[in-house]
Amino acid sequence: MNDISNYIDHTNLRQDALESEMIDLCEQAINFGFASVCVNPVHVQMVNSILKHEGPKTCTVIGFPLGADSSEMKFAEARFLVHQGAEELDMVLNVGALKQGELQVIENEIGQVVDAADGNCVKVIIETCLLTREEKIVASKIARSVGANFVKTSTGFSSGGATVEDVKLIRKTVGEGMGVKASGGIRTLDQLRSMVSAGADRIGTSSGVEMVS
């Protein structure tokens, strides 16, 4: 395995997170060489001002955590945040639409965010804990077909997080040409290694410092 720091999206998506915590998050990401700092939209501009000449990318979330926004709202949010300095966008798909078989809705909203991202990285959160095996496969295939860069397992705010089995299934579905991000409940180095062995390229976690220290 390569340096584990390269896999980590250093994350703080708590609703009560303070600006001082965002500054600490950025400093830790720079010091440890994490892939990105993932924060709520309100913090993007400040985080980007710290990271713009550093290694870690500025990552934020779209339609988070429920995915229950229209395609137009997700497009607008994504476009605005890219202009604010976001370099990676983790969007939550419309789970209800997926479960109702409204696949055109899913294709459209992911495509809208990919368009709004203007070449920046898009990760599609499919919320695996709410899906059947077939729904996970369908969602992953759609994300790949419309040009997203990653399929991500979870928000970490629903009834479950990443599992090795889901990471393996997504990797098998999308092949080697697309990223897979495991997120939700990953707190130890052993868990990280298991997810990477299963096929994950990125790990979303708030425990990155503990893992590499």
Q: Which residues are the active-site residues?
A: 90, 152, 181
Q: How far is CA 72 from the centre of its chain?
A: 20
Omega prior to 41 cis, within 30 of 0: no
How far, CA to CA in Å, does 119 sit from each of 20, 79, 89, 116, 167?
30, 11, 11, 8, 25
Q: Which two tokens stand for residue 44?
A: 């993007």
How far is Cα 32 from Cα 53, in angstroms, rounded to an integer? Answer: 15
Say if strands 202-205 and 36-39 run parallel, antiparallel, or are unpaired.
unpaired
User: Sign (positive/negative) of CA torsion 107, 119, 148, 70?
Assistant: negative
Which residues are paired to 9 by β-bridges?
36, 204
* H or E stretch covering 97: helix 95-99
Please tell me whether residue 9 adopts helix, strand or coil conformation.
Answer: strand
Contact between 133 and 169 under an 8 Å Cβ cutoff? The reply is yes
